[in-house]
């Protein structure tokens, strides 16, 4: 068949397929199969013709429509938590490592500064807090601060406060990471000083059993929030092959996903601090026999730490090794291995 006759015979059909899409999946499938037949014929007899490129474009559009509207086996939320977010962390594992090491360095500075300067603790934590803690220790209730106030009110306040800190660490990325660095510095210094104060008074182990019930998730989430800020800064500073604006947008999108993922972590941490830490603090109150068994604290600490390491480090690496990756359009794909 001559090309002119081939076009005359099918042009109306192709125009309909291109300009009058249908929502009926059966009709869409029928059109796609029909176009593939026409495309095969055109590639065989008119490989360099414009009509071949036209048919190919229409077929590609229908294919993308089918792929985009295909029912997924899992819900979008499930895919986000199981695949998309871990793969995103795998992409930024170096930044996460950098942030973690930097935070640990700031904590160490807080510890050593407190060891060699007795006024440093008060300078960081404030006279009021140090005096209150020393008074509680003298009364035999070293963690009495966690028993003050209504647990639910504490839960709400702590949750909003921690999310606020995380958001500021994220926003710090717009300052090329300088404000994020300041937040890490202040929190790391405070944590090192705080822990030294209890260890210096022979309460180190007890402080870990009480404070790190919520601190494991809380501190980890703050470090990850700072990672989000540095991801944003990285997108601005190191665009690579992208334009700086495109790189900034990609970094901002990824950093926002990281930040959103921390909301449930902060909520759980706030619950632990308001209710579980609240009860655990009574365990070491000499005037009170109530409280929780020590094993409860050990289990929560172990599970919290295992979750952070598994979800943000091990699971992303395992998905990557299995061939999962995020396509530029956001779709999760998997490379098939030769033996599969």
Tell me whether residue 235 is in a domain. Answer: yes
In a domain? residue 134? yes
What are the tokens at 35? 């176009």
Asked which of 69, 96, 123 is the last residue of a domain, the reply is: 69
User: Does 339 map to a domain?
Assistant: no
The torsion defined by the Cα of 30, 334, 87 and 213, in degrees rounded to 10, comes to 100
Do residues 52 and 136 both lie within one domain? no
Q: Does 95 map to a domain?
A: yes
Per-residue confidence (pLDDT) for residue 78, from 0 to 100? 83
Task: Enter the pTM of the model.
Answer: 0.76
Question: Are residues 119 and 87 part of one domain?
Answer: yes
The structure tokens listed for 57 are: 């474009």
C-alpha radius of gyration, the chain, whole number: 29
- 92 and 58 within one domain: no
d(CA 8, CA 182): 70
In a domain, 257, yes or no: yes
Q: Mark whether 260 and 285 lie in a shared domain.
A: yes
| Domain match, 130 and 269 both | yes
Q: Which residues of the chain have pLDDT under 70?
A: 23, 25-26, 64-75, 148, 287-289, 327-331, 335-340
Name every residue whose Cβ is closer than 8 Å to that of residue 129 and which is 6 or more positions away in sequence.
Answer: none
pLDDT for the residue 118? 82
pLDDT at residue 331, rounded to an integer: 64
pLDDT at 69: 47
Q: How many domains does the chain have?
A: 2
Domain that holds residue 315: 76-333
340 falls within a domain: no
Q: Which of 69, 85, 116 is the last residue of a domain?
A: 69
* pLDDT value of position 127: 92
Same domain flag for 93 and 54: no
Count of beta carbons in the 10 Å neighbourhood of residue 51 = 18
CB 177 within 8 Å of CB 229: yes
Residues 60 and 126 in one domain: no
- Residue 265 covered by a domain: yes
Asked if 56 and 199 sit in the same domain, the reply is no
49 and 156 fall within a common domain: no
Domain boundary among 43, 69, 95: 69
Please check whether residues 185 and 235 belong to one and the same domain: yes
d(CA 326, CA 92): 13
Q: Is 268 in a helix, a strand, or coil?
A: helix
Instruction: List for the chain the helix, strand, coil content (%; round to 5).
Output: 80, 0, 20
Same domain, 245 and 275: yes
Q: Does 109 lie in the same domain as 24? A: no
| Residue 15, in any domain of the structure | yes
């Amino acid at each position: 068949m001559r090309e002119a006759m081939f076009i005359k015979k099918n042009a109306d059909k192709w125009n309909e397929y291109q300009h009058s899409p249908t929502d009926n999946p059966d009709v869409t499938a029928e059109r796609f199969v029909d176009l593939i037949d026409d495309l095969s014929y055109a590639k065989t007899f008119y490989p360099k013709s414009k009509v071949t490129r036209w048919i190919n474009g229409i077929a590609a559009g229908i294919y993308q429509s089918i792929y985009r509207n295909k029912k997924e086996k899992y819900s979008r939320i499930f895919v986000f938590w199981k695949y998309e977010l871990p793969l995103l962390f795998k992409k930024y594992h170096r930044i996460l490592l950098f942030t973690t090491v930097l935070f640990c360095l700031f904590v160490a500075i807080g510890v050593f500064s407190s060891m060699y300067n007795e006024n440093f603790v008060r300078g960081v934590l404030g006279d009021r807090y140090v005096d209150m803690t020393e008074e509680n220790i003298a009364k035999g209730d070293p963690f009495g601060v966690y028993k003050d106030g209504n647990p639910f009110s504490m839960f709400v306040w702590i949750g909003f406060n921690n999310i606020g800190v995380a958001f500021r660490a994220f926003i710090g990325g717009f300052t090329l990471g300088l404000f994020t660095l300041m937040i890490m510095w202040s929190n790391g210094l405070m944590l090192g000083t705080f822990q030294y104060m209890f260890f210096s008074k022979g309460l180190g182990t007890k402080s870990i059993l009480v404070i790190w019930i919520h601190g494991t998730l809380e501190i980890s989430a703050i470090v990850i929030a700072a990672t989000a800020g540095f991801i944003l800064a990285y997108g601005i500073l190191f665009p690579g092959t992208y334009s700086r604006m495109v790189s900034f947008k990609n970094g901002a999108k990824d950093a926002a996903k990281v930040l959103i993922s921390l909301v449930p972590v902060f909520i759980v941490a706030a619950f632990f601090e308001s209710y579980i830490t609240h009860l655990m603090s009574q365990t070491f109150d000499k005037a009170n026999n109530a409280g929780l068994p020590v094993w409860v604290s050990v289990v929560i600490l172990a599970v919290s730490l295992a979750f952070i390491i598994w979800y943000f480090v091990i699971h992303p690496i395992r998905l990557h090794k299995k061939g999962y990756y995020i396509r530029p359009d956001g779709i999760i794909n998997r490379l098939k291995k030769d033996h599969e």
